[in-house]
Amino acid sequence: FKSALGKTPRRPALKKTSHTQKDPVGVYCRIRPLGATDEECCIEMISSTTIQLHAPDGIKANRNGEYKETQYSFKKVFGIQTSQIELFEDVAKPLVDDLIHCKNGLLFTYGVTGSGKTFTMTGSPGEGGLLPRSLDMLFNSIGPLQAKRFVFRTDDKNGMEIQGQVDALLERQKRESNQQSTVPKTPSSKQKPDPEFADMISPEEACKCEGVDEDSCYSVFVSYIEIYNNYIYDLLEEAPIDPIRHKPPQSKILREDQNHNMYVSGCTEVEVKSTEEAFQVFWRGQKKRRIADTQLNRESSRSHSVFIVKLAQAPLDADGDHILQDKNQVTVSQLCLVDLAGSERTSRTKAEGSRLREAGNINQSLMTLRTCIEVLRENQMCGTNRMVPYRDSKVTHLFKNYFDGEGKVRMVVCVNPKADDYEETMLVMRFAELTQEVEVARPVDRPICSLAAGRRHRNQDGSVLNQLLDSLPALPACELVDPTDEQILPRLIEVLERRHRIRQMITEQYTRTANTLKSMLQEFDGHLMAKENFIHEQWGKLGEKDKIMFNQKNEMDRLEKKSKMLEYKIDILQKTTNIYEGDKRSLQQELESREQRLQRELSERKRMEARMQGMVSDTKHQWEKECVNPDRTTTGTPIRLHHRRSHSAGGERWVDHKPLSNLDLDTVMQPIIPNAIKVSAASEKALSKCHKYVLTHQELASDGEIQTKLIKGDVFRTRGGGQAVQFTDIETLRQECPTASSRKRSSDDGPGQHDGNQMDWNDRENRVSCPSLIHLGWSKTAIRVL
């Protein structure tokens, strides 16, 4: 059913892949109203998808209740009130949509004679059926997008060709002149609507497909065949039927094209450009069918009629002017509208003789259809691979591609609810149930053409010339019979004159177009100049701006350098500040530590003073006990503090007590007390003669040197007649190594200074001892020696 020539974008029908999506055959049920004379109804519509069959009374009685009430479900059930448009919207509209979008479709009506198949498919005046509505929708959708006649051309192998504009034009003219010469044409006959198709679709019911590719050109071809007695007849063939010999016209054969699609070989395909034209062609076929029925004494209900709408489409070229001259880009899709023969069994029709054989064949076709459906269903459900007997009848053979290949398949099951049809209706329902279980591959979407969209509307102007070209009248037959031909010559002259006029018009149009083009070019030139000037101007401005920019950049560079310099300076200052702060901190620390030392020394001094004070008061206390001189004790005369040499220089007598263990020190200066009684051990006798006492005591100082202490005191007479000494002063003589501590030396302020008097070691080899009397602050304290 698909275009054979060239590589159509769609895959061959037989190469099925397991990934393809499948949809079940869409089965709808339409219940026609009961006839005027029918009384009993055996069908009840239960819901929008289910009907119930009620066995009529007579049958119930006969079969003794064998028939039970049965329900059948469909994709949708249309009740007796359903209008033609409602049915169309649900059943056929999606198929027309598919057709326009390059997908195939098959729609057939099934049912017993009188159930409304023909009414559903064809309809009646004022109540157009699915077929006229489909055609109307198709032309409403693609009307202005159609290609000129003969641009698309069917070949005899089910393929589609494209021919150039000129070839198409020549062919158009050839056909027109042929028509003129054969049938004296009445100008209005072509436009006159067929009375049977008049008002089939009211204008307000007109519908249209959305999303039609406007960048494609379309062309519709229709063919109409009839399958009767398993023979295929072309209902659009011009050859007249021979009524004398009652011989049926030549039947057609089915062939398979190179894409494995079945087609009726040599079948007439008429290119139609409007709904009316398509109706007319259909009506022509209908008439022929009726003539055959009457002249050949046929039973119309036993024939299957197949109306095929083929839609060819090809993309417009990049200019949007003409069809792309590429056969590979042509896509052909088709919608098959089938009005099947009555499904009733032979016994019901009172046929005899050749009629019986016909009836058998009719039955045979539908039987084959049923078998095919059964096998398909079994293969799909059980995964078997039984051969489907499509070839057993013409109808199934023709449908083969729909079930084997891809496309949408829909069936309208028509039922007459009258009780008489009950048994046949039940068979119809069973078949419908079976059919719903068969799945058909969903058609794939067409790949989008690589050219830019919107091509058609970008170029609308070339059409005037094309129209003029199209209006060139064809030349009439011009075989002259004699020189004074009164008929042909004037006609020829007239046509030639018309052609001449049109030629002149074309020339004018051409000149006009050339002039328009010229002025457009001049205008463009002007625009171009203006633009160039503008650009020049802008360049100048740009140069100025460049200069400013350059200066600004220099200034910026300078500022940047300056800023860097300043930053550098700030950095240095920061570092200097840090150093100073560090110094400040360390100085502060030193200050603090010195203050602390001072504090420590002060507190030490205070502590010592306090201790000394304690000792003095203790001693005083003792003395008060022991002293013979009560005055002294009682008056509490404060202890005189003796300073060094203050008494030794006087004329008092001293007891100079030097224990034998003392070492002689070779110091330069030696303590000398004149007029003293020298003793080496304590002697009462010596004490009784003197007033003063001095003990020379040696000990090891902390630095390892010998330290000499002169402990001085006053001698008192005790009440018991003994002697007592009250110590009043201690002089300490210290030797020191000059290298032992540099710090001490550096802080030495020289002799005579309190606390700082020390012996100096100037030279370690020639040790010059320089004993100096050191007056220590605490030495003023009197210490009593027991």
Report the interface residues with Mg ion, using CB under 5 A: 117-118
Q: Which candidate, 691, 695, 681, places its Cα nearest to that of 724? A: 691
Q: Is 112 annotated as a binding residue?
A: yes
Residue 124 or 354 with smaller CB distance to Mg ion: 124
Longest alpha-carbon distance in the chain: 208
**Residue 778 carries which DSSP code?**
G
Known binding residue 75? Answer is: no
119/727 with CB nearer ligand ADP: 119
Query: CB 84 → Mg ion: shortest distance, Å?
Result: 15
Residue type, 351: A
Choose the one of ligand ADP, Mg ion, none that binds residue 33, judging by a C-beta under 5 to 8 angstroms depending on kind: ligand ADP
Closest to 656 measured CA to CA, from 629, 625, 635, 687: 687
The one-letter amino acid at 326: D
Identity of residue 549? M
**Residue 113 assigned as binding residue:** yes
To the nearest 10 degrees (0 to 180), the angle between helices 463-470 and 165-182 is 30
- 638 half-sphere exposure, CB direction, 13 A CA radius: 6
Q: How far is the CB of 122 from ligand ADP (least distance, A)?
A: 8
Please answer whether residues 312 and 218 qualify as being in contact, where contact means their C-beta atoms are separated by less than 8 angstroms: yes
Residue nearer to ligand ADP on the CB measure, 119 or 218: 119
Cβ closer to ligand ADP: 116 or 159? 116
- Euclidean distance between CA atoms 328 and 331, whole angstroms: 8
CA atoms lying within 13 Å on the CB side of residue 14: 7
First to last CA, the chain: 150
Cβ 109 to Mg ion shortest distance, Å: 8
**Which one of Mg ion, ligand ADP, none is in contact with 617 (Cβ closer than 5 to 8 A by kind)?**
none
Instruction: Report the residue number, 115 or 219, with the smaller CB distance to ligand ADP.
Output: 115
Could you tell me the sign of the dihedral formed by the alpha carbons of 541, 544, 548, 554, in that order? Answer: positive
Residue nearer to ligand ADP on the CB measure, 91 or 725: 91
For 281, list phi and psi in degrees, rounded to 5.
-65, -45
Closer Cβ to Mg ion, 6 or 116, answer by number: 116
Nearer to ligand ADP by C-beta: 115 or 154? Answer: 115
Q: Which residues pair with 107 in a beta bridge?
A: 337, 410
Element (H, E) at 27: strand 26-31
Taking the C-alpha atoms of residue 689 and residue 653, their distance in angstroms, rounded to an integer, is 8
Q: How far is the CB of 150 from Mg ion (least distance, A)?
A: 35
CB of 237 to ligand ADP, least distance (A): 24
Residue 619 site contact among ligand ADP, Mg ion, none (CB < 5 to 8 Å, cut-off depends on kind): none
Residues 6+ apart with CB under 8 A from 630: none
Give residue 350's region: left, alpha or beta (phi > 0; psi -120 to 50): beta
Give residue for tokens 């540099």: 742
Residue 114 counted as an annotated binding residue:
yes
744 in a known ligand binding site: no
Q: Site residues (CB under 6 A) for ligand ADP?
A: 32-33, 111, 113-119, 124, 301, 342, 414
Least distance CB 114 / ligand ADP (angstroms): 5
Interacting partner of 6 out of Mg ion, ligand ADP, none (Cβ under 5 to 8 A depending on kind): none
115 in a labelled binding site: yes
Contacted entry of Mg ion, ligand ADP, none for residue 315, CB cut-off 5 to 8 Å set by kind: none
φ/ψ (deg, to 5) at 332? -125, 130
Q: Output the residue with the shortest Cβ distance to ligand ADP.
A: 116
Q: Which does 115 bind (CB under 5 to 8 A by kind): Mg ion, ligand ADP, none?
A: ligand ADP
Annotated binding site: 111-118
Annotated binding site for ATP: 111-118
